[in-house]
Amino acid sequence: MNGKVPSIVLSMALVAGALAGCGGNNEKENAAPSGSQSPSGSSGASQTPASEAPKDEKPTEITIMLPLNTSETPPDTIKNEVEKLTNTKLTYQFFPADTYEEKLNASLATGSLPDVTYLKNQSTFINLKGAIRDGQFWEIGPYLNDFPNLSKLKTQILDNTKVDGKLYSLYIGRPLARQGLIYRKDWADKLQLKAPETVADVVAMAKAFTEQDPDGDGKPNTIGLADRNDLVYGAFKTVASWLSTPNNWGEKDGKLLPDFMFPQYIASMDVMKEIRDAKAMNQDFAATSKTDQVALFTSGQAGMYIGAMSDVDTLNKDLVKNVPTAVVDTQALIKGPNGELTTWSIPGYNNVVMFPKGAIKDEAELKKVLAFFDKMMTPEVSNLMFWGIEGTHYTVVDGKAKASEENKELTEREVKGFKDSVIGESATNGSYDGYYTLEARIHAEQFAAENEKIAIADPAAALDSATYTEKGAELQSIITDATYKYIYGKLDAAGFQKEINTWKSRGGDKIIEEINAARTK
């Protein structure tokens, strides 16, 4: 890297997850809805079924705009079946995820948003709050109790999407806390290393994988950790959470402060610096893309990957092509130096869907559209849209959905475009959990469930700051650059504090003031 640390703008101090492009990001898109299910595949809470409408009732016409995370627009296979189950006539407007925000903003400016408008991710939602406050979208909170299935959406997650205490959106749910460690178990076994139980164990494994020739070829060509230029969904935030660092914001003396103003954040940078100084990770991680990070692991060069444990299926599949004898496993519940078990959680959603007043003219129309989403939250419809058609795209094994390997490309083409739009999660919509055969993925699902019990929530998830909306990304780049420079040895603790002071003087103090004011409303 020629000693230079790139300037990479991340949004970490306020919105975990917003940067990942959640609508189609690899961190998110492969996750089955979370929650336990009954043998029939529905959740513990009963759903009102998607019963057929009276034959003389005219189908409700609904136009839906949403981001497309595949290369081709899906055919009407799933849409046609959904229409039958919901008595609707649906028009889907798919737009490429990479340029979706531009299309969204243009449609908003011209007043041409359709009946149902999906956003792209949490960041897009924050940027749209001005339009929400201007009255351009329907407030739907007062109507949810009129619908038996919509009323089952999780209150905590709905609260995280409220604007000034009012609800304008439905959420697409995601597991709260699925971050952890994916590692080469065959390397660990060879070096007689147990699965890490502490942060110190993680550091020791990274060093051992670098120094002790775990692949046995007699060459110094392996490293411990593969990381990338993402302080949220890369290794840093998860390592920091194991050290009990607050999740974006934390409370001190009754006041909310950003995570980087806590001593645990410094300790987390020290851990990453120790790994890098030992050359036990890719030295240029601040300039490494996720594609290159994954390649380090799947090529057999790196033995550790800290991020979404659900990535293990793809990592394992590509790894064994290059190293047929490789064995991977997952690990979480990593203790900090005080023996405490903590991790971080997202706000429980990765996208929301909203209802523009320019397209939906009155309350009667709104209720018809909400009735469609109420039917979406039934096992019949949610499974159809998330998994596809049983027997073609998936089969049911032990009460769980097993995706078809034979028809994998067909599923990607026909189902993926709709999968990303299913509201709720299995605990509320009754959809199947995924059936997995890879032991590491089975462990990942178990760890994700346990993670939820120890997860640190973001206390500012539903709070707003006008200054952050205006300057947040610009100010966050100060902290992002300072974090990388500290880990690279270009800044010490005093230097890092100077960067915090710069952040405060350029608007950070105002953000803190506004967040705390919003908290007391």
31, pLDDT greater than 80: no
Q: Are residues 105 and 93 in the same domain?
A: yes
Note the pLDDT tens digit of each residue in 186-233. Answer: 999 999 999 999 999 999 999 999 999 999 999 999 999 999 999 999
Among the three residues 344, 375, 394, which one is the final residue of a domain in this structure? 344
Residue with tokens 């997952």: 330
- pLDDT at position 46: 52
Among the three residues 344, 370, 399, which one is the final residue of a domain in this structure? 344
Q: Are residues 183 and 237 in the same domain?
A: yes
Distance in angstroms (rounded) separating the CA atoms of residues 258 and 502: 14
User: 49: pLDDT confidence band, cut at 50, 70 and 90?
Assistant: low
- pLDDT at position 482: 98
CATH of the domain at 68: 3.40.190.10
φ, ψ (nearest 5 deg) of residue 343: -150, -175
Q: Are residues 37 and 170 in the same domain?
A: yes
Q: Are residues 56 and 205 in the same domain?
A: no
Distance in angstroms (rounded) separating the CA atoms of residues 144 and 153: 9
Q: Are residues 314 and 353 in the same domain?
A: no
Q: Are residues 384 and 334 in the same domain?
A: no
- pLDDT at position 47: 57
Angle at 243 between CA 20 and CA 15, to 5 degrees: 25
Q: Are residues 219 and 282 in the same domain?
A: yes
Among the three residues 309, 324, 344, which one is the final residue of a domain in this structure? 344
460 within some domain: no
179, pLDDT greater than 70: yes
Q: Are residues 403 and 338 in the same domain?
A: no
- pLDDT at position 462: 86
Q: Are residues 135 and 221 in the same domain?
A: no
- pLDDT at position 14: 40
Percent of all residues in the chain with a pLDDT value above 90, rounded to a whole number: 83
How many separate domains does the chain show?
3
- pLDDT at position 98: 87
7 within some domain: no
11, pLDDT greater than 60: no
Q: Are residues 45 and 166 in the same domain?
A: yes
Are residues 369 and 87 in contact, defined by beta-carbon separation less than 8 angstroms? no
Distance in angstroms (rounded) separating the CA atoms of residues 93 and 97: 12
- pLDDT at position 212: 98
Q: Are residues 228 and 340 in the same domain?
A: yes
318 within some domain: yes
Host H or E run for residue 25: none
Q: Of 509, 491, 488, 489, whose CA–CA distance to 499 is shortest?
A: 491
Q: Are residues 200 and 337 in the same domain?
A: yes
Distance in angstroms (rounded) separating the CA atoms of residues 6 and 488: 11
Q: What is the 3-state secondary structure (H, E, C) of 240-288?
A: HHHCCCCECEEEECCEEEEHHHCHHHHHHHHHHHHHHHCCCECCCHHHC
- Domain ranges, residue 503: 466-519
